[in-house]
C-alpha cells in the first residue's frame, strides 16, 4: 500500500477514490493513490495525489504528495511535491509545499511555507503570511500610469 510521502506502492496503480458532484462525505479519507473530489468532503484527506474539481470542497486538513486545486480547501494543506492552485481554486488555511504554481485568479488566504529539498520535508523558516482579503492583481492599475488604451483610442480618433 502507498503512503503519503513514499514512492513505493503495492496493489493497483489505478486505485482512486472519487466523490462526485452532489456527494457529501463526512470522515477521514486515506487512499493509496488518488482522490478526486467534485462534491464535499468534511474531514481530513491523506493520499499521494489529490484533484479538487471546480465544484469540490474539502473542509479538513489535507496531506498529499501532489495536489491540483480547482475548488476549495477550507483548512490546511501540505503538498510535499507540488501544489497547483488553479484560477477557480481557493485555499483558506496554511499551505506547505515542495513546489507551488498559482494561476491568475487562484486565491490563497493563509500562511504559506516551502519545504526544504531534503527527504524529511522539514519546513524552511521563511514563512510568509498572505494578507486577506485577496487582491485581484489583474485589476490593479497605478494612478500615475496613463490609461494606454484610452490614449490609443484618442490618437486613432485624432488621425481620422
d(C-alpha 102, C-alpha 91), whole Å: 11
Which DSSP letter does residue 142 get? -
Q: State the cell numbers at 43.
A: 474531514
How are beta strands 128-129 and 111-114 bridged, if at all?
antiparallel
Give the chain's length.
160
Summarised one tens digit per residue, pLDDT across range 109-153 is 999 999 965 444 455 444 555 544 444 444 444 444 455 555 555
| pLDDT at 75 > cutoff 80 | yes
Q: Which residues contact 136 (CB under 8 A, 6 or more apart)?
A: 105
pLDDT bin (cut points 50, 70, 90) of residue 42 is very high
CB atoms within 10 A of CB 76: 18
Contact between 67 and 45 under an 8 Å Cβ cutoff? The reply is no
| pLDDT at 38 > cutoff 50 | yes
Average pLDDT, the chain: 79
d(C-alpha 68, C-alpha 53), whole Å: 8
Q: Does the predicted model carry a pTM greater than 0.85?
A: no
Q: State the cell numbers at 116.
A: 526544504
| pLDDT at 57 > cutoff 80 | yes
Per-domain residue ranges of the chain: 16-135
Nearest to 130 by CA among 110, 148, 113, 115: 110
Amino acid at each position: 500500500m502507498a503512503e503519503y510521502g513514499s514512492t513505493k506502492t503495492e496493489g493497483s496503480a489505478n486505485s482512486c477514490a472519487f466523490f462526485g458532484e452532489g456527494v457529501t462525505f463526512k470522515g477521514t479519507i486515506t487512499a493509496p493513490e488518488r482522490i478526486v473530489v467534485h462534491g464535499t468532503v468534511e474531514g481530513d484527506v491523506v493520499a499521494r495525489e489529490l484533484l479538487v474539481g471546480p465544484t469540490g470542497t474539502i473542509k479538513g486538513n489535507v496531506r498529499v504528495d501532489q495536489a491540483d486545486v480547482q475548488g476549495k480547501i477550507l483548512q490546511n494543506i501540505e503538498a510535499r511535491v507540488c501544489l497547483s492552485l488553479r484560477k477557480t481554486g481557493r485555499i483558506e488555511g496554511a499551505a506547505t509545499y515542495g513546489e507551488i504554481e498559482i494561476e491568475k485568479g487562484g486565491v490563497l488566504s493563509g500562511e504559506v511555507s516551502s519545504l526544504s529539498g531534503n527527504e524529511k520535508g522539514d519546513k524552511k523558516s521563511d514563512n510568509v503570511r498572505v494578507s486577506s482579503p485577496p487582491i485581484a492583481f489583474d485589476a490593479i492599475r497605478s494612478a500615475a500610469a496613463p490609461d494606454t488604451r484610452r490614449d490609443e483610442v484618442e490618437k486613432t480618433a485624432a488621425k481620422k
